[in-house]
Structure 1
Amino acid sequence: MDLMFTEGDRAFREEVRRFLSDNTIPEIRQKLAEGLELSKDEIAAGTRNLYKKGVPTWPQEYGGTGWTLVQQYIFEEEVRAFPALVKLGMGQDLVGPVIYTFGNLAQKQYYLPRIANATDWWCQGFSEPGAGSDLASLKTRAVRHGDHYVVDGQKIWTSSAHYADWIFCLVRTNPDVKKQQGISFLLIDIKSPGVTVRPIHLINGSHEVSEVFFDNVHVPVENLVGEENKGWSYAKYLLNNERFGDAGVGISKERMRRALELAAQTYVGGERLVDQPSFREKVAELEVQLKALEITQLRAIANASKQQQGVQDPASSILKLRGSEVEQAAAELLMVVMGPNALPYTPDEELGSRNEPPILPRWAAKIAPTYFDSRAASIYSGSSEIQKNIIAKAILGL
């Protein structure tokens, strides 16, 4: 298998670099470089600029660029390196492909343009208090009454729900069959009467996720994607896409670059941290792991290019498993650079707003919160234990 980039790939990379230089909002780039949070408006504006040529992962007929998987990989890598990575919720990468693959014509015509131009923000209604790793045990019910469903239940750990306009949900429409066979995929306006969003504050001090409650929520039948009770198949397709992207090679590379840059400015015992053998050993070990992950992802991309669209590749579980571990190791390396500066915590809203001198360097403010947030990488999108089970069954045949 040839994993070398072609001349055309290298030319495309240069084209992407020029595009990012011309189309990234400077203030957004600066905030991303410092690890600061962007507002919803900033993310929407940045997304529109970034997707002027179309959504990178979509076919052209649905408002995408029509790029190959290799081109998508290069684009993602360069966006991370610039940095310019801004994505509006979970519309482009998660629900969008489900809609254009399994949705009807009316759904494609209405939802896809609004996702592509960042009009709507989406969140994912999958996990429940009693259905996390065992997602198929979900209990949120949708009972059909004429031209609408009545939805009751609860979702949890819903990322960006406090910003979202819409939520795509797995709901139980038939409780009398095998649990995977009675699930449907619904699109729900999060402003509908009966929907309540309650914030969950995380260990890193942020409000990224929420609980979402449904109490007698009426959802039009036309918001059903595909066939009733076939939602589990659509969910597996979505999760395969999500796990494929969760390798996080670009994220880990970005953190590695940042760690080396800061280590060159950090002195311990009169010597630069970047020159100390113990630190260099940690860097070398992580670089080897990251390169192996990158090669594995390129192999998966090469294989995926030959597969039929909609066919799930169990190799995505390998990328999710190792990607989570490498991403966490890269966040830990930044904590090593940070040293004692990891102790205080300064929220975004307080940076630069105090009269007294800051407790820690500005560059250090978001490293500890990022480290704590990275601990969740081995849980979301399917826990590491689940990925090991998939690998054992689907790849190793155990």
Structure 2
Amino acid sequence: MTPASPSEGAYDRIRLRQLRRGLARPAGIDRRSLLRLAAAASVAAPLLPAAAPSAHAVTAPGGVVKPLPPELFTVRGTNAETNFAALRDTGLLTPADRFFVRNHTGTPRVDASDWKLTVWGDGLTGGPVDFSYEALRALPSVSRTAFVECAGNGRSFFASQQGEQVSGTAWTLGAIGTARWRGVRLAEVLRRAGIGANAVDVLPRGLDAEVVSDGVPLGRVRRPLPVAKALDDVLLAYEMNGEPLPPDHGHPVRLIVPSWVGIANIKWVGDIEVSAEPLLTPWNTGMYRLFGPGHPPEGSAPLSRQTLKSAFELTPGATFAAHRRHLLTGRSWSGGAPVRAVDVSTDGGVRWRPARLRDEPRPGSWVRWSADWVPRAPGPGVLLARATDRSGRTQPETTAWNTQGYLFDAVVRHPVTVV
């Protein structure tokens, strides 16, 4: 029987109260200090029981294992953004060789034969429980098509379209990919480990190298999930598009948290803490909250669901011949509800018309769409795409500013040239 658990909203209120009691930002404290406080709070007790495994992991030189040809990717430090034009000849699923890479350090090489997952914490009814790779694969499996998208996808448009400066990697719209993931429901593993009725937080931690931000050691990447979400639709995935996970995408096992921001989808999972009280880490305090006007000093509640976006499968500044018919293609997606409709404008937003949807809208996935266009005169132009999802939400003209540039959802202006 599933233990009773608070709603996500109630859980966030509990965690915000905890943050205010112990880690709330006094006037003038900077993000570095907040990260230091959160890091100290999250390592105040031993992270793992003494018997926990330590899988051998070697970080790849240069940060990313797979080839990153410039026609497919734009390299951004230890990250690689998919060039959206490279998706035009793909189907609904993003091939692994074109799937974006978001690394906080570098890709670790983990051998599945000596990997094991340890589930532990005071939210269990007993002691720590280990699962080998073989044992995990022997459990009932499920498959799910879902996108993974960085919370900062579209961040660069705060500056280029709205004239607002933000911090973080300057993604355009290519920090997203959709795949068919196969694995074990996290709920199945937690139940077999003996999750208790008192559990409120589930904290997966990756096996990548420890992160240092602004000179502050933060430990390995980890971010708690409310137990209500953990017991819902989350996967411990070991396959991507019918193949074992590639190293850059979490081999041997990663989390897939449908519709939530990318940081929730922890890669290279090594252990999961189940806690009887809300947990704080740098990834749900100083990062992955909204700071700025309209938000409290300690920031918004931790980010959860992704927002609504659209992108053309075109290079910026693409050239089109006048007086000829062209097929415009693109993709739209939403973390809130399936995309219901997409409208396009080929005259900078003066007139809009519906695009043709090429896929059945489904939760947690994107839809491909197309529209015909016959340019009438040579010169510069701007293409726009605007999605509406089944919750009734439509992409706005502008996105409310936040200091770290998260959740940009405004209509993106795509420049082109007609010759």
TM-score range, shorter chain: under 0.3
Please identify which structure carries the higher helix content. 1
Please identify which structure carries the higher strand content. 2
Q: Return the TM-score normalized by structure 2.
A: 0.25
- Which structure would you say has the larger RCO, counting Cα contacts within 8 Å and 6 or more residues apart? 2
